[in-house]
Amino acid sequence: MSTTTLTTSPGSEPTATGRTERPRVFAITSGKGGVGKTMLAANLAAALARRGERVLVIDADLGLANLDVVLNLQPRRTLHDVFTGQGTLDQALLTAPGDFQVLLAGSGLIEYSRLTPTVREQFARLIDTVRPHYDRVLIDTGAGISDVVLYAISMADEAIVIATPEPTALADAYATVKVLGMQQGRTSMMLVVNQTHRHGEGRHVAAQLQSVIDRFITLPEGGTIRLNPLGEVVSDTSVRQAVQRRQLVMLAYPGSDAAQGMSAIAMRLATLHPPAGRLPMPAGTLVTLLPVPEPVATQEAAQASTPESPADLPAEADLAGATVTVTDDPR
């Protein structure tokens, strides 16, 4: 097999995980379920592919995966098959509507809902394997701050947090940002505000959330966390219609407000982090590992893996102000 040297473009900077190449792996996550994270991940991939990028979406919601439902796909091989040696990576990769590739997890995989040594090593090896072969890899994580979710995010160069203007969603987004900053040392993250009530509301929400972060979060080394707003997606009936039809809104309703917002988010992301280049994927790639014995859980280990308690977070009243009512249309 011929080899190709992949060079880093001038001006590349260290990412949040310390890599010096241009970021190519992005975790799309949310503190709260039901904010449209998976729908946004799929449509963002389609928007990036339309720009000429080779994009892979990995469904990392290992216990409750539903990317296959969003895309109306029925995979013959899944991430589970790759991990267990029942299939190769190229067999599990599917081309989704929108001309991007997906690696589906399959739902109800209880053995992958906990961060065992096996899951940790397999997932790390998977990311290292696919990283060089795509302009951009999007990891669609589960919601919340479980150890599995946090580990999946740790594999990414950059984190994109999805929130809505609702107080509970913003409180959970704040919790996610805080944990990622304190535990993973991330000093910057990107934010997408979904289901806004009108154009411009996302900017106000981002500013309010940044204000709360500045007030309550100080990183161990000093300093704070900066949010980079990628954009907003306004509440749009076309999204519901596309979901019900199991289609991407980018394809079914390309002229809708929601599709236009997603296209703008893709443009903003491509501007902040241009494509990094890629190598061809070799056929028959295996990612399987031999089973790793699980250690006996100890009380100290359980405490170490438990996310911080809600008592460590600001009261929801402090975040209630982040639900901004825009009286004047900023357009």
In the chain, how many domains are there? 1
Residues 305, 155: Cα–Cα separation, whole Å: 17
User: Would you say residue 18 lies in a domain?
Assistant: no
The two tokens of residue 258 are 């929601």
**Residue range 148-166, pLDDT digits in tens:** 899 999 999 999 999 999 9
**Residue range 31-82, pLDDT digits in tens:** 989 999 999 999 999 999 999 999 999 999 876 778 999 999 999 998 888 8
User: Which residues in 160-187 are b (16+ Cβ under 10 Å) and which e?
Assistant: bbbbbbbbbbbbbbbbbbbbbbbebebe
User: Would you say residue 330 lies in a domain?
Assistant: no
User: Would you say residue 245 lies in a domain?
Assistant: yes
Q: Is the dihedral of CA 61, 240, 236, 205 positive or negative?
A: negative
Give the DSSP letter string of 92-141: HEEEETTTEEEE---S--GGGSS--HHHHHHHHHHHHHHGGG-SEEEEEE
User: Would you say residue 98 lies in a domain?
Assistant: yes
Check pLDDT > 70 for residue 17: no
**Residue range 287-318, pLDDT digits in tens:** 544 343 343 343 344 344 444 444 455 554 45
What is the residue whose two structure tokens read 């509507």? 97
What's the order of all strands across the beta sheet hosting 93-96?
Answer: 93-96, 100-103, 55-60, 136-143, 25-30, 158-163, 188-196, 226-234
User: Would you say residue 243 lies in a domain?
Assistant: yes
User: Would you say residue 301 lies in a domain?
Assistant: no
Output the domain CATH number for residue 39.
3.40.50.300
Q: With H, G, I as helix, E, B as strand and everything else as coil, classify residue 162.
A: strand
User: Would you say residue 63 lies in a domain?
Assistant: yes
Check pLDDT > 70 for residue 6: no
| Cross-strand bridge partners of residue 139 | 27, 58
Residue 201 or 331, more confident:
201
Give the DSSP letter string of 223-279: ---EEEEEEEEE--HHHHHHHHTT--HHHH-TTSHHHHHHHHHHHHHHHHS------
pLDDT of residue 323: 41
**Residue range 215-247, pLDDT digits in tens:** 999 998 888 899 999 999 999 999 999 999 999
The two tokens of residue 310 are 């809600």
Range of the domain at 210: 25-273
Residues 73, 306: Cα–Cα separation, whole Å: 35
User: Would you say residue 14 lies in a domain?
Assistant: no
Q: What is the pTM of this model?
A: 0.81
Residue 121 CA from chain centroid, whole number: 20
Residues 26, 60: Cα–Cα separation, whole Å: 12
Q: With H, G, I as helix, E, B as strand and everything else as coil, classify residue 171.
A: helix
Q: Are strands 93-96 and 100-103 parallel, antiparallel or unpaired?
A: antiparallel
